[in-house]
Structure 1
Amino acid sequence: MTFEQVWFGHPAPGTATLPDLAAESAAAREQDWAVADLAFSLVPGGTTALVGASGAGKSTTALLAVGVHQPTRGRIMVNGVDLAELSPAARQRAVGMVTQDVFVLHASLRANLTVARPEATDEQVTEALRHAQLAALIDTLPQGLDTTVGDRGFRLSGGERQRLSLARLFLAGPDIVILDEATAHLDTLTEAALHEAMTRHLAGRTMLIIAHRRSTVENADQTVRLDRGRVVEIDYADAAR
């Protein structure tokens, strides 16, 4: 994945259409851009850490990478194809994301997982839960995988909801993985176990990781530092070794 001079500005209040958004953003002052002139590539098959102070543009960059936001200027290329030109299904196969705030359906545990891979078998679902350190949860629920987890997942703790999102990722198996504070609600031991699982089961995939804990990104192949929406530094691991 390559960011080619990507700019993005949030729409002004009341702005509803893409043409309006483009007009607003083109006229905006430089400091009004959420991200400006992003130009960098993720390490193919490796890990890129995205760091910077709060408000530097890290989460906006992640949302651009997964296609939630569309660049106002520039483009994001995936295997030579503009991300904006991919169908929603193709985009979901290409890029997967886990964030600190997890969306949970008012549905069964099984349905919350197979939304990432509708054809998945119960065996594959259970395996994904095991990789996400959630296999024991099934035994505590009254109907197992068929238990409704409730509106916004009220039956689950914050850490369990986050691990549910990671299980979706394991089940979907996208080529590019984006983790935005994906283990923020987890204790240190669970976080370490999940990182081991990710290293083992997401090996060979291209990863973009946003995290405040140094331990989460210390082994990254490259580190991209943002400041006020701009890339100010790129450090390569090999240069430091």
Structure 2
Amino acid sequence: GSEVTDIAILSDEAAQLKMGIVSRHMLPASVILDPELTLSLPKGPTAASGMDALIHAMEAYTSIHATPLTDMWAEHAIALIAPNLRKAWARGEDIQARQAMLTGSFYAGVAFCNAGVTAVHAFAYPIGARYHIPHGLANTLMLLPVFRFNMVGNMERFARLAAMLGENTTGLSPEKAAGRCLDALESLARDLQVPRHLADYGVTPDDVPVLAESVLQVTRLLGNNPRSVSLQDAINIYREAL
């Protein structure tokens, strides 16, 4: 049996939405990045896993625990993923794009294993557990509402993300430049034909209070977030994602 180092179980109805297990035995000693193994991956999983990798890098970059070292890994990850995710999705046999995605995903993993992910992942966990939404899609569904909420916590970082994603931010204020980050991500999700609303998976307004209660228990991730999240904040974010 593996050694469990972090386990969280909720009470009442929210208990059905999340159980997290983290152990050193889940961390690999080495990896092999072979793009040929990904050439037959369908478009849906390519989009979902690619968005997940990009979100890993962006959340590590905006985590309050980011360091110059994790920034380096996150920046390199985004530089590989941002221009290649569309290519890998549009033409799955593009081995150069596949290699870039694998390498970028690895770099993003190094970044978030040291800086942590933030509220996007925290909000994705309850909807993934309850509605069986694939993890990368759950993250993508929550990405824009959470980033819109988080931006005020570190506007300059989100402005830099916009530039990394290819947006022209020259001469813009940090606030307007940060808004370009949301524009870039919305355009990317649209091009990848990723579902955009929780309602597409059967989530209703009546479900929001339980989901909000559940996300507040994901303290391991919310502790990395650039902005504190209250119960009302969580309700508002889930409502926006509907």
What is the TM-score of this pair, normalised by structure 2? 0.28
- Determine which structure has the larger helix proportion and give its number: 2
Larger Cα Rg: Structure 1 or Structure 2? 1
What is the TM-score of this pair, normalised by structure 1? 0.28
- Determine which structure has the larger strand proportion and give its number: 1
Q: Which fold has the larger relative contact order, with Cα–Cα distance below 8 Å and residues 6 or more apart in sequence? A: 1
